[in-house]
Every structure is written in C-alpha cells, then in structure tokens.
A and B are shown apart, each in its own frame.
Chain A
Amino acid sequence: MYGNPQRRTSFEVQDLRRDGGRWLKEQRERAGLSQRQLAERVGAEYYTFISQLETGHGRIPPDRYRAWADALGLQPGNFVRDILRFYDPITHEILFCDRDEDKSAAD
C-alpha cells in the first residue's frame, strides 16, 4: 500500500496526481510508446492501468520506478526526482530543493 504520507487534502492529492499523470503521458508520448507498449515494458498486467495513471489515479509502485525509467528512456534518478514532485512533494522538496539551496549557500 502506497498511501499518501503527506496528509494533504484529497483535493491537493488529486491535483498532484493529475499533474503527475499529465507528466507521465508526456513522457510516454515523447518515447513514442502506446499505453499497451508501455504496460508491457514496465510489467503492468493490464494496459488500462497506464490510462488510469495518466488521468491521475493511483501511483507507480516504488519497486517499479527503475522499470518505468528504462521504458521511458530516462535516468532512474531523474525519473524518481520528477515523479516525487507529484507523489511525495515534501520529500522531493527536502531532497532536491533544499539540497540545491544548501549547495548555493555553500558556493
């Protein structure tokens, strides 16, 4: 179970998921894949799951992040960084935005 750990309102969660879905769709289309092809490459058992994700419902299981990154032709680290913006924005902010600020301050 990959529940939302942020305790955000359902509307915020849905907005984030929808944004994430749009981003996933953009990445899939950029990679030239149909939803069925992507499902096969990431090991999804049914391809309508891809359509469901792209409309902003549900989320990619973390143990499939690497498969998704490979299927979409993205570096796994970059893929996780981007997807965390939608799935876990607080963690994303701490890991990436704060780190950038720390790095700027150090420079």
Chain B
Amino acid sequence: MSANVVAFFRRAVSRDWSAQELAEFYRVEAALIQSGLHVCSDRGVADEGDPWFIFCRAEDDEVIVHFARIDGQYLISAPAYGGNVTGQDFRTLVRGLVERHPVLRPARQTGNVTWHPSALLLVLVASALLKMGHNAEAAPVRPGDGLAAGADRVPLQVGISGLEHAGDTVVQEAQQNAVILAAIACATSAVDMSSVPLAWAPVLASEPVQPVHTGLALATPLDTSSATDVGGSHGVVPASPQLLSLFSLPQDPGAHAHDLAFWQVQTTPVVSGWGPPVDQGAAESLAPVATLQAPAQPNAELTNALGTNATLHSGAQDVVDSVLSNLGGNVPIVYVSTLPVALSTPLNESVHTATATATTHLTTESASSSGGALPGDATTTPAVPATITAGSSVAFDSGGTASVAEVLTIMQNFATEVGPHLAVVVTPTQVVEYDYYAIDTTPAAVTAVTYDFANGSHLSLVGLPAEISHALV
C-alpha cells in the first residue's frame, strides 16, 4: 500500500523529452527512412513521468533501440548491442556504444574519423538495425511460410529497401556502410531542424539523398548520380543547390569541382541540448560531421575560389591561408555564408573591451560576463584596457604583417589548447576558430576573442576562458 502512495506522488511529475531531444530523434528517423531503412518510431511517458523513445523495425515492429531517461539518468537499450547502458551524459553513452561496436571503419588504420554527435546517434540506430537484420536473416524461412501474400513473403533481412541478399559478407558489409553513410548524408543536409516544426519531420524523407565521402572503406560505391566526384580521397561534392547556396558558389558544381578538392561537409546547425528539461539550452551542436584528412599543402585553389566568389576579405584571407597551412591536417575547416547561430549569438551579444596596444586593437567578448576581463582569469585581458563600450567594435589595422603573425600565433596557441575539439568556420567576412565541444556542452561558459580588421573582416576565438587565456599568453 505504501508503495502505491509513493507511485502516486511520482506520477505527478512529468519529465518528457525536450523539444530539442525529440527533434534530434525525428531527424535521425527521417534520415534513416530517406536512405531506405525501414524504421518507425514511437515514444511515451511512463506512469512516473519518465520519457522513453523507441526505434522499431517497420516490417515487424521489433524494437531496435529503446532510449529512456529514468530518474535523470539516460538509458540506451539495444538488443543488438547485448545490453543496456546508463549514464548522465547522453552523448557519451551514444559515443561509447558506437565505439565499442564499430560498424564503419576508416579506410586506413591511421584514419581519424570523428562523428558528429547527431551522426553518432544515427550510426547507433542504423547499426543496431543492421545487426538485428543479420540475426533475422540467419533464421530459416520456409517457402510458402505464412498466410499473407506480397511483401509479407519477403524474408526479414536487414530492413533496407532494395538491398538484396548478397551472400558475400564483404559486399554486404559495404552495402550496410553505404546505407549508413547515406543516412548520415541525409542527417547532415542543409536542413535546420530547430526551425522546422516537429510535424514536418517525416516530410524530410522526401529530400534527395546526398552521398558524402568520409574516407571510409566502401567496396560498393554510393550512387553518385546526383553528385560530382572530384576524385582522390576527398571525393564527392554534394550537388544540392541548397548546400551550394551556403557557399555562394556558382550553380554548376561540376565546373568548379576542382576548386573544392578540400571539401568539408558543412556543419548543419543541428539541435542538441541533451539533458533534463530544466537544463534546456539553445545550444547548437557545432561538431564537424567527420574529420577528413586535409591536404598536405594549403589548397590555394580553394581559398582563391572562395575569395573570388564569396568575396572573402583580404585580412581574413591571409589568415585562412595560414590556418590551412599551419593548423595541421585534421582540423575541420568549414566554409559557410553565415555563422551558425550558436556562434553568432555569443559574438553578437557580447560586451566589447577595447585595448590600445600599438600593434593590435583587441576586442574581447564574453557570453556570460559584463566586464572586460575574461571570466575567472584576470590575466587574459591583453595590454591595458582603454575603454569598455558595449556593442561597439574597434577597428584593427591589419596592414602590417607582424600583426597578422601575432594573430596567427594566438590561433596556433588556441588550437593547441582546444586539441581534438577544435574546428574552424569561415564566412566571407569572418574566421572563427572554436571549441565545438565546449559550445555544445557548456555554452554559458564560452568566451570569445575577436580581432576586427579595418576592412570589415573579423577573426574570432571561441572557447573556454582558460583556453583563450592560455592562447593569449
């Protein structure tokens, strides 16, 4: 009886998924369906208020993965993965499962593949489905078994439309990889789910599939009829006008495909914000979809093309050239026409602190502080603060090469501090070097430093105060 009373009180608390969490689930479902995987989903709230969400195999409604948040702890249960995992950090759980059960492998053992958090969730679900499919396929199916006709006679294989039983493990594995990659491509298409009503999510399945080359082993090539293969290890240029429009490039991707040899999958502002409802941030995940190997030498064609077609200001152009050559081979550099909201918001709403050094005019920005110094570290304010003018921007004369070198040194330091979470985004007028993990997980703690050039371009570092302060030393 007393237990029933406890249950009654628990029932009064509702802790459903946040809109961001649901959007990410539906985004994954839409991408899976679009890539030909037969999945469906459902969700509910237990009698004590804890939410759950499941992905099912559409053919027989078998549950592929069960996600839940029970008493504040996330749970992921996938029969194909052999058990349950629980923890406070949803992304860590997903990443851990994917890493323990690798389905996609780099083409080279030395390859460094870093999945976008949203892609990780997609890989998790797709992999679980494919693993279930293997099991179902192994079960004998007698001819004429069952009563229904038509599709019901088709054996339960891997739940992939058009995927024939290859009878060859290698080929089948490659097909599975292709399906997952296609799904990832769908998930990373230029659709901002944060601005799309949830009811529209299924409609996204009508979007065309855009293959993405991620440097992974694919024995069976993807259908590249809608894309331009530029060859080499940096392969397929998405041909979607929507994608290209982000880059302000000409409409014919083929004519300028060679300019995009160092193509990087653009980071779509996807919804994140995994966490209890009381802690819903509007942060957008800014992690790169996959880290590609950069060319050994800076790609002058790309930067020239970008400068020509997108009118990248010369000050930023210098830095982009140097970033490409100096930041090493594994830093994702993403070219977009406008900054992702999660970056532009702290930059635009920050308080600027001007300094009056001889060589640089530095503005510091903080998403959370109103003072000039970076939060928690008084040593991070370079030189002597002259004035603090909210919302103002101080011109920076970049004429001397020494000042650019100084900026580059700071960017190098910052890259070292941030390490594997570093990414760079480039717009026609701005270069932002940022810690995508910090922005995704602790957006309130993120601080920015911006160098404003006289020609209107800007260079920014966005990360944790300690990272920036160490970079400025």
A positions within 8 Å CB-CB of B: 1, 3-4, 6-10, 13-14, 17, 32, 34-37, 45-52, 55, 57-58, 90
- Assess whether B60 is interfacial by the CB under 8 Å rule: yes
| Contact in complex: A1, B62 (CB < 8 Å) | yes
Q: Which of B103-111, B143-151, B193-201, B456-464 contacts A (4 or more CB under 8 A)?
A: B143-151
B145-A52 in contact (CB<8A): no
From DSSP, what is the main secondary structure of chain B's interface residues?
mixed
Most chain B beta carbons < 10 A, residue from A4, A49, A50: A49
Which residue from chain B places its CB closest to the CB of A45 in the assembled complex? B84
Tell me the residues in window 143-163 of chain B with beta carbons closer than 8 Å to chain A beta carbons: 145-148, 151-153, 156
A34-B58 contact in complex given A8-B148, A48-B66, C-beta closer than 8 Å: no
Instruction: Flag whether B132 is at the interface (Cβ < 8 A).
Output: yes
* Contacts from B to A (Cβ < 8 Å): 3-4, 7, 10, 42, 44-48, 50-52, 54, 56, 58-63, 66, 68, 70, 75, 77, 79, 84, 132, 135-136, 139, 145-148, 151-153, 156
Q: Please state if B7 and A10 are interface contacts (CB–CB under 8 Å).
A: no
Residue of A nearest to B86 (CB): A46
B410 to chain A minimum Cβ distance, whole angstroms, is 48
Query: Once the chains are docked, how many angstroms separate the CA of A10 from the CA of B39?
Result: 12
B-chain residues with CB within 8 Å of residue A51 when the two chains form the complex? 44-47, 52
In the bound complex, do residue A14 and residue B48 qualify as a contact, i.e. CB atoms below 8 Å apart?
Answer: no
Q: Note all chain A residues with C-beta closer than 8 A to B10.
A: 34
Identify 28 residue pairs between A and B in the complex whose beta-carbon atoms are under 8 Å apart, listed by A's number: A1-B62, A1-B132, A1-B139, A3-B62, A3-B136, A4-B60, A6-B146, A6-B147, A7-B145, A7-B148, A7-B152, A10-B59, A14-B61, A34-B3, A34-B4, A34-B10, A35-B46, A35-B48, A37-B3, A46-B66, A47-B46, A47-B48, A48-B52, A48-B75, A52-B52, A52-B63, A57-B54, A90-B147
Which residue of chain B has its CB nearest to the CB of A37? B3
Residue of B nearest to A50 (CB): B46
Partner of B61, one of A7, A13, A32: A13
- In Å, the complex CA distance between A6 and B146 comes to 6
Instruction: Across the interface, name the chain B residue whose C-beta is closest to A90.
Output: B147
Cα A8 to Cα B10 with chains together (Å): 39
Which residue in chain A gives the minimum CB-CB distance to B83?
A45
Q: Which of B7, B56, B60, B152 lies in contact with A3, CB distance below 8 A? A: B60
Also in contact, A52 and B60, with CB within 8 A (given A8-B152, A45-B77): no
Closest to B79 in A: A1
- Please report the C-alpha to C-alpha distance between residue A17 and residue B3 in the assembled complex, in whole angstroms: 29
Q: Taking the nearest CB of chain A, how far is it from the CB of B380, in angstroms?
A: 45
Residue of B59, B60, B147, B148 contacting most chain A CB atoms (<10 Å) = B60
Known contacts A7-B147, A48-B70, A57-B42; A34 and B62 CB within 8 A of each other: no
Q: Given A9-B152, A57-B42, A37 and B61 touching (CB < 8 A)?
A: no
Which residues of chain B have C-beta atoms less than 8 A from A34's C-beta?
Answer: 3-4, 7, 10, 47-48
Q: Are B47 and A46 in contact (CB under 8 A)?
A: no
The residue on A at minimum CB distance from B40 is A10
Nearest CB of chain B from residue A34's CB, rounded to whole Å: 4
Q: Which residue of B lies closest to A29 (CB)?
A: B47
For B59, the closest partner residue in chain A by CB is: A10
Beyond A7-B147, A52-B54, whether A36 also contacts B48 by CB under 8 A is: yes
B146 adjacent to A7 (CB under 8 Å): yes
Quick one: closest B residue to A8, CB to CB? B148
Please indicate the chain A residues that have their CB under 8 angstroms from the CB of B156 in the complex. Answer: 3
CA distance A74 to B139 in the complex (A): 33
Write out the residue numbers on chain B whose beta carbons fall within 8 Å of the beta carbon of A6. 146-147
Residue of A nearest to B51 (CB): A48
> A46 touching B75 by the CB < 8 A rule?
yes
Are A46 and B77 interface neighbours, CB within 8 A?
yes
Tell which of A1, A10, A45, A48 touches B46, judged by Cβ atoms closer than 8 Å.
Answer: A48
CB-CB < 8 A to A58: which residues of B? 54, 61-63
Q: Provide the residues of chain B in CB contact with A7, threshold 8 Å.
A: 145-148, 152-153
CB of B230, distance to nearest CB on chain A (Å): 42
Question: Shortest distance in angstroms between B182's beta carbon and chain A's nearest beta carbon?
Answer: 23
CB contact between B70 and one of A14, A47, A90 (< 8 Å): that residue: A47
Q: Specify which chain B residues have a CB less than 8 angstroms from the CB of A52 in the assembled complex.
A: 44, 52, 54, 63, 66
**A89 vs chain B, min Cβ distance (A):** 11
Report the Cα distance A48→B70, complex, angstroms: 8
Contact B136–A1 (Cβ < 8 Å): yes
A37 CA to B10 CA in the complex, in Å?
13
CB distance from A90 to the nearest CB of B (A): 8
B70 to A46, Cβ gap below 8 A? yes
Closest residue of B by beta carbon distance from A47:
B46
Complex contacts, B63 vs chain A, CB 8 Å: 52, 57-58
